Structure formats: structure tokens, C-alpha cells
Amino acid sequence: MTRLNGCGALVTGASSGIGAATARALAAEGAAVALVGRNAARLAEVAAQITGAGGRAVVLAADITEVAAPGQVVADAVAALGRLDIVVNAAGVMLNGSSLKRPFDEWRQMVDLNLTALMAISKAALPHLVAAAGSGRGVTDLVNISSIAGRTASAGAAVYHATKFGVTAFSESLRQEFARRNLRVSVIEPGAVSTSLFDHGDPVARARLAERLAEVEYLQPEDVADLVTHVITLPRRVALAEVVIRPIDQI
């Protein structure tokens, strides 16, 4: 028996990186997983990996920054899976650079995806998570992927930091609100992870970051996925509310 048999899980950003690795990890533990992201072809590849390993996955291609999309995605996930025990908000974008030179549209993109869409998915999922907590494992989980950028600020990344500080605060407030209703809310704050997150934004800012991390062995998405799985599969009495995970040599 695996630890998440009978559970329904929804993972955003599931087409690549931490989201894809988390979806595979949860499926390996027995959860049926709804894969959410914009790239239907890449979601289908992740779904094929899961089903090929004996798991169950449903592809829900959507742009969750659109107003109606989060509610529809959650409704479709519940319809397909029958219940919703786990939500992992892993979708995100980092578009850092000079606050004088970079366009405001990039700031809006980060707020829309990193914070607003995460809140909207969470809002739509809350009733289902509370309902599912009364059966099965006796606990449900909402896990938000933030960043160490949600703990300290640096120049050239004002809005990215703002979104991640927001995710951490949002998660802690929800944790307090639902702690007595058997819904655990956790926030995971990774350091440098080898994903496409670093491939966007201003080239100068990307070069500076790459130089700063030149001697760091980046985490792999699977490292974060293992942590997410650990958080979710702990006994009901244990809640890891906020966890930082860094490469050992990242200062």
C-alpha cells in the first residue's frame, strides 16, 4: 500500500520543474493527480510518465491567470478525481531586472501568476479540502511553493520578492484559520533549483544571478518534490508550516 491511495491531488505548474516532479512523486504514492498548466503537450508527457508507471493522471490545460480559469480547473479536477485532498501551487515566473527599465507588464505577470492565481486556486479548492478532511486520511493539504525570496529582499527583484512575501503571509494566515479543521497549509521556500525559472527576465539580471550562484550545485526539482511529499504524508498531528530548502553551498 502506498501512503496516498484514494487521494485526489491538483498540481499547478505541472508541465515542468517542481510541479512536474511533484505530480510524479504524489502519483507514485498512490494519489490520482490533476495536472494543471498552459502547455497541453508537455502536460500530456508528464501524464504519460505517470500512467506508464502505473499511476493515474488527468490533464487540465488552462491559463490560471484568466479570471474564470481557477474555479473551472478546480471543478474539473473534482469531477474527474471524485475528491480533492491535496493542492500544490507550484506555478510561478521570475522576471527580474532594473525597476527603471523593465516594463510594468512584467510586474503584472508576476503578480497575476505568482500571487493572484495561487490565491484563486486556493480559494476555489478550500471547500473541497475541508470536506475531504472528514474522511480518508483525516487531514488534507494545501502546499504553496514560495521561495527564499519570500524571506529577504534584494535589488532588481522588487516585485518577485513582493509576490513571494505575499505567498508566505497568505499561507500562514490560512494555516491559522484552518488548523482546527484538519486542513494543513504549508509553504515551501526553495533556494536555487535547476528549472526554467532562471531562463526568463532581463539578461543582465540573469547573468548577475548566474555569477552569484556559479559555485552552487543547484537543487533538482525532485529534491523539492520529495520534501513536498514528506510534508503531505506526515501523521495528521504533524504540520510543517514553513520549510526552507537550499543547496548546501548556497550562502
The residues annotated as belonging to the active site are 160
Nearest to 110 by CA among 19, 229, 241, 201: 201
Separation of alpha carbons 116 and 173, rounded Å: 16
What are residue 161's phi and psi, to 5 degrees?
A: -60, -45
Nearest of 97, 91, 94 to residue 118 by alpha carbon: 91
